[in-house]
């Protein structure tokens, strides 16, 4: 069995994502990955035209796993919008997989600071999530513009909770998440 038949494109994407998280985008190079996976550089080109094609695949895999799959799962639940909002707020606390997802996302945001390709993917993902959360608030009866503003506040909290994960004890995190849930649902006169 040759290396090219044992390694899937997904294996290369996973390895590239690991290196991105641990060492940053500059370290994501075909030679580094091939060495880590103990295969020849040549086997890489069986699946990808070049490094850029791999980077596009990494971004697409992130977009799909961290956004489309999550939204699809949410939509499949048929829950009422208030419960959906509660679930969205609890996303940063879903244990090890949420921690891993946060690390990947922060690495991609760091990469996006200096790369147009990653920047575009991040902006699209943010926009897609904000639209989805806005829909939840619209379903609760808030006018469109206000639903969007509330969605931003909820999403800002989610993004910041992963960036500020060092801040506060577990019980403080629970308290602020419960407070946020109440505040974003509170109607103002």
The footprint of a second copy (CB under 8 A) covers 22-24, 26, 106-107, 109-110, 113-114, 123, 126-127, 130, 145-146, 148-150, 152-153, 155-157, 159-161, 163-164, 166-168, 172, 175-176, 179-180, 182-184, 186, 188
Least distance between a second copy and beta carbon 117 (Å): 15
- Nearer to a second copy by C-beta: 65 or 168? 168
Least distance between a second copy and beta carbon 119 (Å): 8
- Nearer to a second copy by C-beta: 44 or 92? 92
DSSP for residue 26 = G
- Nearer to a second copy by C-beta: 75 or 175? 175
- By residue count, the chain amounts to 189
C-alpha closest to that of 89 among 160, 163, 188, 169:
160
- Nearer to a second copy by C-beta: 36 or 160? 160
Report DSSP letters for 117-165, one per residue. HHHHHHHHHHHHHHHHHHHHHHHTT--HHHHHHHHHHHHHHHHHHHHTT
Q: Tell me phi and psi for residue 146, to 5 degrees.
A: -70, -35
d(CA 130, CA 132): 5
Least distance between a second copy and beta carbon 152 (Å): 5
Contacts of residue 31, Cβ cutoff 8 Å, sequence gap at least 6: 41
Least distance between a second copy and beta carbon 146 (Å): 7
- Nearer to a second copy by C-beta: 32 or 110? 110
- Nearer to a second copy by C-beta: 63 or 176? 176
- Angle (CA) 145-180-156 rounded to 5° is 60
Least distance between a second copy and beta carbon 89 (Å): 11
d(CA 60, CA 68): 10
């Amino acid at each position: 069995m040759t290396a090219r038949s044992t390694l899937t494109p997904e294996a290369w994407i996973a390895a590239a994502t690991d290196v991105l998280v641990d060492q940053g985008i500059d370290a994501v190079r075909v030679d580094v990955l091939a060495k880590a996976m103990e295969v020849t550089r040549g086997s890489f080109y069986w699946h990808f035209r070049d490094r850029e094609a791999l980077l596009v695949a990494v971004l697409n895999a992130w977009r799909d796993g961290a956004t489309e799959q999550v939204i699809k799962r949410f939509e499949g639940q048929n829950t009422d919008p208030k419960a959906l909002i509660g679930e969205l707020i609890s996303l940063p606390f879903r244990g090890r997989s949420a921690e891993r997802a946060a690390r990947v996302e922060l690495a991609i945001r760091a990469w996006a600071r200096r790369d147009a390709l990653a920047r575009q993917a991040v902006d699209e993902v943010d926009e897609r999530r904000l639209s989805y959360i806005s829909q939840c608030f619209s379903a609760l009866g808030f006018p469109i513009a206000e639903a969007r503003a509330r969605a931003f506040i909820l999403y800002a909290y989610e993004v910041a909770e992963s960036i500020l994960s060092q801040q506060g004890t577990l019980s403080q995190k629970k308290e602020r998440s419960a407070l946020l849930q109440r505040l974003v649902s509170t109607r103002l006169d």
